[in-house]
A = this chain, B = another copy of it.
Amino acid sequence: TAPKINRMSLTYEKRAEMSKNAIAKQLFNIMAVKKTNLCISVDLTSSTQILELLEKVGKHVCLVKTHVDIIEDFSSDFITSLKELANKYNFLILEDRKFADIGHTVALQYTGGLYNITNWADCVTCHSLPGEGILKALNSKSNCDKGVFLLAEMSCEGNLITPQYTNETVKMAEKYSDLITGFVCQHKDTFKDPGFIQLTPGVQLQSSKDDLGQVYNTPEKVVLENGGDVIVVGRGIVSAKNPESEAVLYKDTLWKCYIKRISGKVE
C-alpha cells in the first residue's frame, strides 16, 4: 500500500480523489461545494416535523442522518419528500441503522421490509461486531453506488469497544474499500487512509453528558484535536428555539475549525 498522507492537512476536494467508495467521493465534494461539514441527526418521530426541519436546515448540511424506525407515520410519501429535499439542497442521506446481525439477516434488513433502505439511503451505519459476513452481505446489495459507515468507536459511557476491536474494524474496512464510506469514530489516529471519512457524533457547542450516558464534546476539540470530518449534531439543533440559525452557527463554527485544520497551523 502507498504511504499514507496525514489526512488532517488535506482538503476535502483532494480527499474525494483518494476515495474508492462512490458515496465518500460524493460527500467530500458536497462538503467542499457547500462549505459545510455539518451532519444533522433528525431524531424526530413525526415525518412532518422532519421535513419541516430539513426545509430549514437542508442548505446548511452535507448529510442528513435518519432513524426511520422511530418515525410514527413513516410512509413512501415521506421518502419521496425526503429525496426531493436531498436533491433540492444537495445533501446525502445516512440511515443510522447500526446493522449488527449475521450477513443473511442483514441482507434482508437492508433491502426489504417496510423501510426498503437501499431504495433511498445513500449510506448506512454498521457494526463490525458480527465479523466480515455483515460487510459481504451489504456489499452484495450495494451495486457500487451505496456506502457504509463502520462503527470503529462509540462515544457513550462504558461502551465495550477496545483498541483491538477498533483495529480489527479498520482492517476489515480496508478489505471492502469500495463499500466503506468511512468510520464513526472519535480519534484522528483511528484510521490513516485519507479516502475514508471520519463521522463524529456527540458534539454540542458546550460539552455535556445526558442521563443515558452519551457524552458531548465541542466543535474545536472534535475537528482540530480528534480529526472529525463530518460532524453529527442532533439535539443541539433540533431542540433549539430557532433550528436554522443554530444550524448556521454550528456550520460556521465547524467550517472554521476545518479551515484552521487544513491551514496546517494546528498539530
Contact = CB atoms under 8 A, between A and B. Distances in A.
Contact of A160 (B67, B169, B210): B169
B160 A131 contact: yes
Given A45-B108, A162-B162, A214 B129 contact: no
Interface residues of A, number: 49
A114 interface: yes
Contacts of A154: 102, 129-131
A130 B159 contact: yes
B214 A113 contact: no
Interface stretch (A13-21, A50-58, A68-76): A68-76
A115 B74 CA distance: 11
Secondary structure at the A interface, as helix, strand, loop or mixed, is: loop
A141 to B, nearest CB: 12
Given A160-B129, A162-B164, A67 B213 contact: no
A107 B164 CA distance: 29
Interface stretch (A93-101, A190-198, A243-251): A93-101
Contacts of A156: 102-103, 130-131, 133
- Most chain B CB within 10 A, of A130, A154, A213, is at A130
B71 A137 contact: no
Contacts of A59: none
A164 B165 CA distance: 12
B129 A69 contact: no
Interface in A210-246: 210, 212-214
Contacts of A96: 101, 105
Contacts of A102: 154, 156, 212-214
Given A74-B114, A127-B129, A214 B160 contact: no
Given A108-B67, A160-B168, A168-B160, A100 B72 contact: no
Interface of A: 43, 45, 67-72, 74, 96, 98, 100-105, 107-109, 112-115, 127-133, 136-137, 154, 156-162, 164-165, 168-169, 210, 212-214
11 contacts: A43-B108, A68-B113, A70-B112, A71-B114, A102-B154, A102-B213, A129-B161, A130-B159, A131-B154, A133-B156, A133-B212
**What are the nearest 8 A-B pairs in CB distance?**
A103-B212, A131-B158, A133-B213, A70-B108, A100-B100, A131-B159, A133-B212, A69-B113
Given A67-B108, A104-B214, 10 more contacts: A69-B113, A100-B127, A103-B214, A104-B210, A129-B154, A129-B160, A131-B157, A131-B158, A133-B212, A137-B212
